Amino acid sequence: MMIMSSWWIAFFTIASFSYLASVSSQPYDYPTANLSSTWINSVSADHSVTFTDNSTVRAILLRGTFGPKYACGFYCNGTCERYLFSVFIVQTNSGGGITSPAVGFPQVVWSANRNSPVRINATLQLTPDGDLVLRDADGTLTWSTNTTGKSVAGLNLTEMGNLVLFDEKNAVVWQSFGHPTDALVPGQVLVAGMNLTAGVSATNWSDGGVFSVSMTSQGLVASVTADPPLVYYDRLYANPKTNKEESYAKYQNGSLQLYVHSVEPSRPDSTIDIPPAASAQYMKLGPDGHLRVFEWGSQWTEVADVFTGYLGVCNYPLVCGIRDLLKRAVQLPEIKLHCRKLQTDK
């Protein structure tokens, strides 16, 4: 397990709980939960909404009202035989109701059980001992935060979209930001050792996709899963680190900032420009290896493709086909995709 530096934990402790004081002024949302709370993935559950894209959400927590807001709960798409426990962005009205079923489709930015979706009547429980536990309809343990006995006092969904278990001193015990899946939201940090892993397809959420984006001690790397990984994009710094802080990438409004030798509040070592957000925004690694940025306007639209400005469309590994790519990866020390080489010795 990666040990995170004290500054990073402190950062999220402050960011996550700066919003707790404002809960009383937002009477129509429901962003927190106490110990001994249980939620059932039932068709009759409160805050259950079906959208015209065949997705359904059953919100457990919702932070804020009026406009695109973060919620967490059960999510499905398609036949809805299987569900994720996830954090998603939905459209809300001034009363905290989830609205716009024809255009405001839920956007999943984190999920707990992407490899083990659950069925109707699955349960999520925040136990008296402080563990957040997801069980399938037959009682099978699917996922948990493994926080029993760690003095958890409650559950909070922050305005940044971070799902947090906190203790009696409002310190973070566990947080979804510490376990990214395939997406980042503004304010989120990808620390060295963390990665985004693409799903297999738009309808197969499992992390069996071949693409990943990782933050290393030397910078940001996008690669195809292989042994060794086949890099198709990187922003690296070869010089030895001059500080003891972990390297990290931070998703800010208008940029993805890389800190390798530098540490905030100093300027980042490198900045990848992104269109400034006029509304809710997030970036997601797709099954094709593209790291796309999406934003809410009158509907959800793509506003940027982070790597394409450097790579061009023709140089993504998927252009050659995954099977052919992986077959050749076993046989050759380097792979040429149209006009660019993917070096395996980086």
**Annotation: CATH topology of 180-346:** Agglutinin, subunit A (2.90.10)
Q: What pLDDT, on the 0 to 100 scale, is given for residue 324?
A: 52
Burial of 170 (0-12, 13-18, 19+ CB in 10 A): middle
CB 160 within 8 A of CB 187: yes
**Model pLDDT, residue 203:** 84
List average pLDDT for each run of 10 residues in the chain, which is 346 residues long.
Answer: 49 45 54 98 96 97 96 96 98 95 97 98 99 99 98 98 98 98 98 97 89 96 90 90 91 97 94 96 96 97 94 78 55 43 37
pTM of this prediction? Answer: 0.85
The per-residue pLDDT for 244 is 87
CA dihedral 291, 1, 11, 293 (to 10 degrees): 10
Q: What are the beta bridge partners of residue 184?
A: 283
Mode of pairing for the β-strands spanning 107-111 and 340-343: unpaired
> Is domain 1-179 classified as CATH 2.90.10.10?
yes
CB of 19 within 8 A of CB of 158? yes
Q: Which residues make up the CATH 2.90.10.10 domain(s) of the chain?
A: 1-179, 180-346
Q: Burial level of 288, CB count in 10 A (0-12/13-18/19+)?
A: middle
